[in-house]
Structure 1
């Protein structure tokens, strides 16, 4: 009975995460791509967020959907080609999620820096730099993941290799070349971008604290400085970045454990998937709750239908 209860709980959790995550990310993506924005002036920040939602959607579709199907009792429904393609999309989505979150944090830090700071010259140029960097990172990540996936597929096609059972398919077990490629092409950039996220977020907090100290003596206005759209946008990014760093740190630790162990337990596999899906699932609702522009974009059509 306890085993059955755990299996049922796992099914409900994965199914809920997948449905909620797809709904949240696709809602924002839909209104970014197809909804007329004549009433709102979308900033460059929303351009970065659009790419973040795309990366989140790739993670949910390639991680949440297979794990949900496995939890529902379906096993080994992917061939070697399907497995290689699945892990390709997983790595691509996870990598671009880290990159776009880093760009978002760095961009906002530069934009809120004082005009007399050393960042003032970058305020005008940073949208152009990041606007070119994001497509370049997509192209580079696609190429790098293709190389790793091609190597994995070639090794899987050969005989006398050890495979790691994931429930919905089997992947390549311990391989020195693959481990070296993974560390060089994924782990090192992930640590680098995560460090930049922490540094830029810390500097953003310092700027906000210093600004708050400077305006404490102003009491004549009835509107708090933290109620401005800019302040709300900064708060939303800080909450988003904090959520990302927390979940990403735990996800990286659990992924490392899976990579080291020859036969990881189902508990470890399920926990890793659960944590890996937390940020892609939660981030759209964090943005909706803190960003008034996104909230209005997502709910304007419903409101207009009720009150034409």
Structure 2
């Protein structure tokens, strides 16, 4: 158990460092240069992932609440609410990133081509709608989460050392589960649909290019690299989401949380926020060029 927790802490630390680096890079690009529309989406996703790791690991809010001498019940409600909001934002923004890339690489003759300029024009409005939707969607967590007291007497389901889910009516519980699952299934379905569409577009493009330039090796365009990166992220997200869903569903049905299962679930929850910045850093030529320039400047100083 201790070794598993050590792995979890290492994973959380790596996730925070990688996402912080990526966040500063996107802020630098957005403020100092002409950013791509996808940079605005990725910047928000990076911020959300930092918050998921800090809140989910009780790293950020615990110290804040202790310094302000705020009660445990308020701390639990706030932590669970914000974590659910950030988790919802993660799936929504990942879905938006997948849609945007599918629209970006779509041929000018396709129906999606009509949305290219509209999507860029209304990007801020889309962000606002996503945030408002998730802030309102997760309000039920405020009423059904509280400070942990005694499981045997109150029939609470303990989910951390100090927090637990309070008993709720079977109808409300089923309705909440159905609505939440329906939202996630819909967004995952959209991601899989756009991913399939992007794979078809890439396959067609590669086949046409090889036919026209049979003697020349296929060169990776920035659009193709970006599409492959997003496809990788979407596939990984879907796998991690369903593994997390299976564990959460099983625990909810049994109304029992085991510390080992909770640690494994956190490991899977942190997997996507950890892998995402590493994939983006390794696939973005701007970051690679920037790191090479920094390395060459340091080399010149010491020579």
Q: CA deviation at 1:267?
A: 2.5
Change beyond 3 A, Cα 1:150–1:44: same
State the distance in 2 between where 1:30 and 1:307 align: 25
Instruction: Name 2:273's counterpart in structure 1.
Output: 280
Instruction: Name 1:232's counterpart in structure 2.
Output: 225
2:94 is the alignment partner of 1:101? yes
State the distance in 1 between where 2:30 and 2:143 align: 44
Q: Is the 8 A contact 1:174 1:262 kept in 2?
A: no
State the distance in 1 between where 2:106 and 2:16 align: 35
Matched ranges for 1:62-141 at <5 A: 62-65=55-58, 79-141=72-134
The TM-score, its normalising length taken from structure 1, stands at 0.84
Residue segments in structure 1 that go unaligned for 5+ positions in a row: 1-6, 70-76
Q: CA deviation at 1:245?
A: 1.1
Q: CA deviation at 1:256?
A: 1.2
Change beyond 3 A, Cα 1:191–1:130: farther
Q: Is the 8 A contact 2:48 2:89 kept in 1?
A: yes
Most deviating of 171-180 and 260-269 = 171-180
Q: Is the 8 A contact 2:80 2:145 kept in 1?
A: no
Per-residue CA distance 1:1-36 (angstroms, 9 max, x = gap): xxxxxx221221111011000001111111222467
Among candidates 168, 175, 190, match of residue 168 of structure 2: 175
Q: CA deviation at 1:221?
A: 7.0
Instruction: Name 2:67's counterpart in structure 1.
Output: none
2:159 is the alignment partner of 1:148? no
Q: Is the 8 A contact 1:78 1:168 kept in 2?
A: no
List structure 1 runs of 4+ shifted beyond 6 angstroms. 154-157
Q: CA deviation at 1:106?
A: 0.6
Q: Is the 8 A contact 2:240 2:269 kept in 1?
A: yes
State the distance in 2 between where 1:300 and 1:260 align: 54
Instruction: Name 1:72's counterpart in structure 2.
Output: none
Change beyond 3 A, Cα 1:162–1:78: farther
Instruction: Name 2:205's counterpart in structure 1.
Output: 211
Q: CA deviation at 1:129?
A: 3.5
How many residues get paired? 289
What SS does structure 2 have at the residue aligned with 1:171? strand
State the distance in 2 between where 1:136 and 1:186 align: 17
Residue segments in structure 2 that go unaligned for 5+ positions in a row: 63-69
The TM-score, its normalising length taken from structure 2, stands at 0.85
